[in-house]
């Protein structure tokens, strides 16, 4: 794909006129998908797709559009030539963009991920074996993800990575199921077996009659999957420079009032160890790491080129939406094997969903428990709990009421596949929290 992309860039470069400049991005994938239901394969398939986005620039005017590529160079040459002509016709009719900023210093890079994925048949067989005697439903997705950038100034960037994501549940009945994920770059049979064993143990507990507990404050354990969902919501408006300068950030109290989280909380945009490309759509490179929160204190914003131009600060390679794509939460010192003992009596929360802000300015989050959530007494899982709604401030969850984070972390890949497989990921621990507020 890389050679074909660069060939099309040369085609575009040869057709520029006068002071025209262009930036060009490429995204593609070669993915296998296997959908399971009732512990059987229901829909296997493969996807190969390629897209090119062209932004034609003249002065402060620019116009952009995307075209699907076929992989046939002659056909794709005609498509990008037609796209360039369309944008050239459109350009005189668009207003000047005061915040336009693109890379003008040439920094070319290449990152070729190593393909160490198992054959899809091997992963499928492992999932089918895990589902024997159980109702397994889920999706296996794996393969290569490719991204490219080029401009008419001579910059060329390429990125590829190869990952897999098993996203499955053992279903019981109604709203009772154990959800599990296993994602990474190298298939480890022992690691997958451990995930299956943990889910199977929780499955047996889900067969017990569910309990309902009254609203109130309880000690809880948030499993890594639940922590990741909370951080994913925090990424919506939490770290972008635009949100900070317009005072719409959900972390306004940290920035303006000096409110701090627990000293154990450090959040980093860890591009080096993620699956997202290390450059963005305007050609700026992303640093390996950007520290967002360090030891509980806010440190840095994510700054897109447009925000950099608007507010007169350097960009740090953030995407246009200024949200972390490779979130990394530092590990703590609580052994996961001791979590139930440390929890003692309270609620074990495996997953959460339907998260939203109930008070953005106070970074107050509401949501529902989901899948495997259990009542725990004296360090022993007792019974599944019916769905509950919580409403809790981040400053309590990961601040004054955080008791600790686990020493072990999970690598989580965003399972969404709209348009293409997502490149969002996270490395997160579990969290032990005191006096967590349930409202319903």
- Whether residue 325 lies inside any domain: the answer is yes
Q: Extract the tokens encoding 293.
A: 């929160």
Residue 419 has pLDDT above 90, yes or no: no
Residue 234 has pLDDT above 90, yes or no: yes
Residue 3 has pLDDT above 90, yes or no: yes
- Whether residue 111 lies inside any domain: the answer is yes
What DSSP string runs through 342-383? HH-SEEEEEEEEEEEEEEGGGTEEEEEEEEEEEEEETTEEEE
Distances (CA, A) of 424 to 25, 218, 225: 18, 32, 14
Q: What is the pLDDT of residues 274-297, one digit of tens each?
A: 999 999 999 999 999 999 999 999
- Whether residue 211 lies inside any domain: the answer is no
Mean pLDDT of 47-74: 97
CATH number at residue 163: 3.30.2290.10
- Whether residue 220 lies inside any domain: the answer is yes
Query: Across the strands, what pairs with 149?
Result: 25, 157
Gap between the Cα atoms of 217 and 352, Å rounded: 17
**Per-residue confidence at 370, pLDDT binned at 50, 70, 90?**
confident
**Per-residue confidence at 392, pLDDT binned at 50, 70, 90?**
very high
Q: Is 52 found in the same domain as 137?
A: yes
Q: Is 192 found in the same domain as 223?
A: no
- Whether residue 189 lies inside any domain: the answer is yes
- Whether residue 143 lies inside any domain: the answer is yes
Gap between the Cα atoms of 111 and 383, Å rounded: 48
The residue assigned the tokens 């890389």 is 2
- Whether residue 58 lies inside any domain: the answer is yes
Query: Across the strands, what pairs with 351?
Result: 370
What is the number of structural domains in the chain?
2
Q: Is 32 found in the same domain as 121?
A: yes
The residue assigned the tokens 């050609």 is 283
- The Cβ of residue 311 has, within 10 Å, a number of other Cβ atoms equal to 14
The residue assigned the tokens 């997705």 is 141
Of the residues 159, 184, 206, the one at which a domain ends = 206
- Whether residue 293 lies inside any domain: the answer is yes
**Per-residue confidence at 371, pLDDT binned at 50, 70, 90?**
confident
Please tell me the predicted confidence (pLDDT) of residue 176: 86
Q: Is 173 found in the same domain as 322?
A: no
Cα end-to-end distance, the chain, whole Å: 52
DSSP state of 399: I
Please tell me the predicted confidence (pLDDT) of residue 362: 94
Q: What is the pLDDT of residues 148-207, one digit of tens each?
A: 999 999 999 999 999 999 999 999 988 889 999 999 999 999 999 999 999 999 999 999
Gap between the Cα atoms of 230 and 235, Å rounded: 9
Whether the model clears a pTM of 0.75, i.e. scores above it, the answer is yes
Q: Is 237 found in the same domain as 202?
A: no
Gap between the Cα atoms of 187 and 162, Å rounded: 12
Q: Is 224 found in the same domain as 199?
A: no
Cβ atoms of 1 and 28 closer than 8 Å: yes
Q: What is the pLDDT of residues 249-265, one digit of tens each?
A: 999 999 999 999 999 99
Please tell me the predicted confidence (pLDDT) of residue 372: 87
Q: Is 229 found in the same domain as 174?
A: no
DSSP state of 114: -
Residue 341 has pLDDT above 90, yes or no: yes
Mean pLDDT of 39-45: 95
Cβ atoms of 386 and 214 closer than 8 Å: no
Structural domain for 283, as ranges? 216-438
């Amino acid at each position: 794909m890389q050679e074909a992309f660069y060939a099309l860039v040369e085609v575009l470069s040869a057709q520029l006129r006068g002071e025209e400049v262009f930036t060009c991005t490429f995204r593609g994938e070669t993915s296998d998908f296997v959908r399971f239901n009732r512990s059987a394969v229901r829909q296997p398939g493969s996807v190969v797709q390629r897209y090119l986005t062209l932004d034609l620039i003249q002065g402060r005017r620019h116009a952009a559009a995307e075209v699907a590529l076929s992989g046939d160079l002659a056909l794709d040459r005609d498509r990008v030539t037609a796209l360039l002509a369309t944008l050239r016709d459109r350009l005189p009719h668009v207003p000047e963009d005061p915040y336009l900023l693109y890379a003008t210093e040439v920094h070319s890079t290449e990152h070729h991920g190593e393909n160490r994925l198992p054959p899809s048949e091997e992963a499928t067989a492992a999932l089918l074996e895990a589902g024997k005697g159980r109702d397994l439903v889920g999706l296996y997705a794996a393969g290569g993800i490719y991204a490219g950038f080029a401009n008419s100034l001579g910059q060329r960037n390429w990125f590829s990575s190869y990952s897999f994501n098993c996203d499955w549940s053992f279903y019981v009945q109604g709203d009772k199921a154990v959800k599990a994920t296993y994602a990474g770059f190298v298939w480890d049979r022992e690691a997958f077996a451990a995930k299956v064993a943990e889910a199977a143990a929780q499955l047996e507990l889900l067969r017990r009659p569910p309990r309902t507990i009254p609203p109130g404050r309880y000690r809880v354990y948030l499993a890594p999957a639940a922590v990741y969902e909370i951080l994913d919501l925090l990424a919506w408006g939490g770290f972008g420079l635009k949100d900070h300068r317009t005072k719409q950030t959900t972390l306004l109290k940290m920035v303006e009032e000096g409110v701090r989280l627990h000293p154990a909380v450090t959040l980093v945009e860890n591009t080096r160890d993620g699956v997202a490309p290390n450059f963005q759509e305007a050609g700026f490179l992303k640093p390996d790491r950007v520290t967002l929160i360090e030891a509980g204190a806010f440190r840095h914003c994510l700054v897109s080129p447009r925000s950099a131009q608007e507010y007169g600060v350097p960009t740090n390679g953030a995407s246009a939406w200024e949200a972390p794509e490779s979130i990394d939460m530092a590990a703590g010192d609580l052994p996961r094997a001791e979590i139930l003992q440390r929890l003692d009596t309270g609620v074990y929360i495996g997953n959460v969903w339907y998260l939203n802000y109930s008070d953005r300015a106070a970074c107050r989050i509401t949501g529902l428990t989901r899948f495997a959530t259990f009542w725990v007494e004296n360090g022993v899982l007792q019974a599944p709990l019916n769905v509950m709604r919580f409403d809790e401030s981040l400053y309590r969850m990961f601040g004054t009421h955080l008791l600790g984070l686990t020493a072990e972390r999970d690598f989580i890949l965003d399972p969404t596949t709209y348009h293409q497989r997502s490149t969002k990921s996270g490395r997160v621990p579990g969290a032990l929290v005191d006096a967590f507020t349930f409202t319903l």
